Amino acid sequence: MTDLPAQSSGTFTIGGDLTVNRLGYGTMQLPGPGVWGPSKDHDGAIRVLRRAIELGVNFIDTADSYGPFIADHLLREALHPYTDDLVIATKVGFTRQGPNQWTPVGRPEYLRQQVELNLRHLGLERIDLLQLHRIDGAVPLADQLGELVALQKEGKIRHLGLSEVSVEQLQAAQEFATIVSVQNLFNFGNRQSEALLDHVEAEGIAFIPWFPLNTGKLTGSRSPLVELAGTHGVSPAQLALAWLLKRSPVMLPIPGTSSVEHLEDNVAGASVQLSDEEFATLDAAHV
């Protein structure tokens, strides 16, 4: 196994110029309960972020709403100045009113404010990948994306993406902006976004599955992951990540954790190789 196990996941080039190892890391679990307030273990969160880089992770997904801004502060403390190959993707468009409370806001002035705050909190001059966290149905899509495109033209954003969209919403957005990524809920047990995955694969757009590990159901007695994981001598979570990576070349899983042990286990999943027959068995199964 390589000293940088995340490299075993292969690479994908986002937007034609940002090449990353396909197995990344998501920061959503670093703030406190309900993705609200300070981390329960600040020093542990710093260790997790630094260990991710040591393992070869060079794609990190975050958002201004994680904390809010707690994840951004941790990233900057742990990793700034950033290595040249590190791609930090962030998101704007969600406001927070408390633990587990999320309200979309897509007013142009708010999106601009949050992009500026992301730049300040992360210590960046330009955001490599800025994703609209949710489309706000109360604001014309042209206004939401128009403001982000304006920021892109000002040199504050490199590439634009979307989160939790349908094929139709993606196509509507492409009328106003070049979209290089989508981020939807997708995992072994939840495949409701398969039509979108197939669509973006055909277009060479990155698909970033959030909640890539449906860990609550992975070890049930009826799960085919358990038997096959035993055959490979790996954890069900590692096998689920291997399935995601084999499912599509545009797939960029971002499993998140606040534990170094779990991080190392997840990243080790990059080296698990499924045969076509094993993949087909898992692909036909649902947890």
Q: Which residues are catalytic?
A: 66
Helix (H), strand (E) at residue 47 = helix 42-54
| CB 269, CB 54: distance < 8 Å | no
Three-state SS at 153: helix
Residue with tokens 């992975």: 218
Buried b (16+ CB within 10 A) or exposed e, 21-32: bbbbbbbbbbbe
The secondary structure of residue 225, as a DSSP letter, is: H
Query: Nearest Cα to 246, choosing from 209, 223, 272?
Result: 272
- What is the rounded distance in angstroms from the CA atom of residue 161 to the CA atom of residue 11? 19
- What is the rounded distance in angstroms from the CA atom of residue 161 to the CA atom of residue 239? 28
Query: Nearest Cα to 24, choosing from 56, 54, 50?
Result: 56
**Rounded (5°) CA angle 206-196-5:** 35
Residue 207 backbone phi and psi in degrees, to 5 = -115, 115
